Amino acid sequence: MHGAGEHDEKASWTTAARMLQDASPLTVPEGASAMTIEVEWEPGDPGTPPHRHSGPAFGYVVEGAVLELEGEPERVVEAGGTFWEPGGDVIHYQDGNALTDARTRFVVTMLCAPGRPMLELVDERELADRAHLRAPRPTD
């Protein structure tokens, strides 16, 4: 018999957590605030235009999505998968729905620098100036 506060060796709290991602190096803007949002895209929705976040973002995909960050090849992150982006200057090219027959839904926790918006769109001129930093896209 166990006393108050004691647990069996196989107590559920010891196995309940499962690491989904471990990101480093991580830079957190001084005085950052954190927010968690849920994003849901209808089938085939292209998502948010190219943008950046002022701080790092960590996401969990509930239903399939596509992700493309500056300097990384386009990739599909499926349900149960995770992603992270460092924030700051890095452009997030795409977060739309890779599926044409089902919704995409993901949850993201972002750290935002003080006085900065959660998301800043990138204009066409900057995209052209930084085109050399974008990974080659697959050809059809």
Residue type, 86: P
Sequence ranges of the domains in the chain? 47-133
- Say which residues have a Cβ less than 8 Å from residue 71's Cβ, sequence separation at least 6: 90, 133, 134, 135
> Is the separation of the CB atoms in 39 and 108 below 8 Å?
yes
pLDDT in tens, 15-46: 888 888 888 777 777 888 999 999 999 999 99
Q: Which CATH number fits domain 47-133: 3.10.20.90, 2.60.120.10, 3.60.15.10, 1.10.150.240?
A: 2.60.120.10
Q: What is the pTM of this model?
A: 0.77
Q: Sign of dihedral through CA atoms 71, 65, 59, 21? A: negative
